[in-house]
Amino acid sequence: MANDATGGDADAEAEPDARVLNQDEIDLLLGFDGGQDAAENNSGIMAILDKSMMAYEKLPMLEVVFDRMVRILSTSLRTFTSDNVDVSIDSMTSLRFEDYLNSIPLPALLGVFRAVEWENFGLVTVDSSQIYSTVDILLGGRRATRPIRIEGRPYTTIEQDIVRKMVEIVLSDMGSAFDPLSPVTFQFDRLENNPRFASITRPNSAALLVRLRVDMDERGGMIEILIPHNTLEPIRDLLLQMFMGEKFGQDSVWERHLGKEVQQTYIDVQAVLDERKITLGEIIDLKIGSTIMLNAKPNDLVKIKSGGVQLTTARLGKMGDMMAVSLVEEIKRMKEMAQWLN
């Protein structure tokens, strides 16, 4: 028994001292810090988990698309309100869907929309300041220089109808902004006043949040567009492209320059009298003076080809000491090519 006790003490001494982490050390390891906001945490395991949401902030074409949308939306809201409206991008961030729903102040109106071609959903949220400002403008309210007081009451039917119209305008302009990159239809689905009923994806799914600031003569508010990352997945490769140039979509100056350069490009043109297939054995047996019979006559039309594509047909002839061909029909698609080059 004495030997066993001695061996047990030796094993205990060989084992390292077990150290229990306190709460502060656990929070530091996980990336939590009670003195900072959750959005500022950039260390520990949380930093590793949040790294997956940063990928969509590095898509160059997203900024181009929403810059174009801002210009289009400014014009649409001016027409809608008959007032001076200035729309700008306040921020573009990635976050978890559940965190966004928990950050929405109540009461709220959330427009759920469906990206038809991408077969997924998104959200458009109009904050209270923007709703009350638009209602005042549309219903003839006086211009208030002080901030509009936010009332903690449910929205009326008139306010909901106005918000629905605004959401439809936003969706239409966002579709126009995406159209040069990838045509898509953003279809209004429903309007919710409770964030719990606007669950369009899993709570932990990453999403892109675009906050648009709307200024209307010292009034206005925010319009937030939330698009889950899995909604953008069908066009992710297109969003990864680098944007080169000052215009998005059709650039007439570049097209004219390209057309001039194309017209000065040299290409090989073949005049083919006839073609036939022969076996490899016949080719091996060919010698100097061998004759290959073609299914064509001297007066038959020849095919004018370039790059293996037949352009037109011509009649074989002679001009001086050179062989020549005379076209007997127009080159295919010449009219379409002329319109594009001009």
Higher pLDDT, 179 or 144: 179
State which of 5-19, 49-63, 90-104, 132-146 shows the largest mean pLDDT.
Answer: 90-104
Contact by Cβ (8 Å): 134, 221: no
Residue 30 has pLDDT above 90, yes or no: no
Report pLDDT digits (tens) over 171-226.
999 999 888 888 889 999 888 888 888 888 888 888 888 999 988 877 788 899 99
Span 140-148, average pLDDT = 59
Q: Which two tokens stand for residue 313?
A: 């047909």
Q: Which two tokens stand for residue 258?
A: 């390209």
Q: How sure is the predictor about 340, in pLDDT bands with cuts at 50, 70 and 90?
A: very low
Span 246-272, average pLDDT = 75
DSSP string, 72-106: HHHHHHHHHHTS--EEEEEEEEEEEHHHHHHHPPS
- The predicted model scores a pTM of 0.58
Domains of the chain are: 20-52 (no CATH), 54-239 (3.40.1550.10), 253-280+294-341 (2.30.330.10)
Angle at 294 (CA atoms; ends 291, 297), nearest 5 degrees: 115
Span 150-175, average pLDDT = 85
pLDDT at residue 51, rounded to an integer? 52
Q: Which two tokens stand for residue 203?
A: 């709570």
Contact by Cβ (8 Å): 96, 206: yes
Mean pLDDT of all residues belonging to the chain: 77
Residue located via tokens 């929309």: 113
Span 123-151, average pLDDT = 74
Residue 260 has pLDDT above 90, yes or no: no
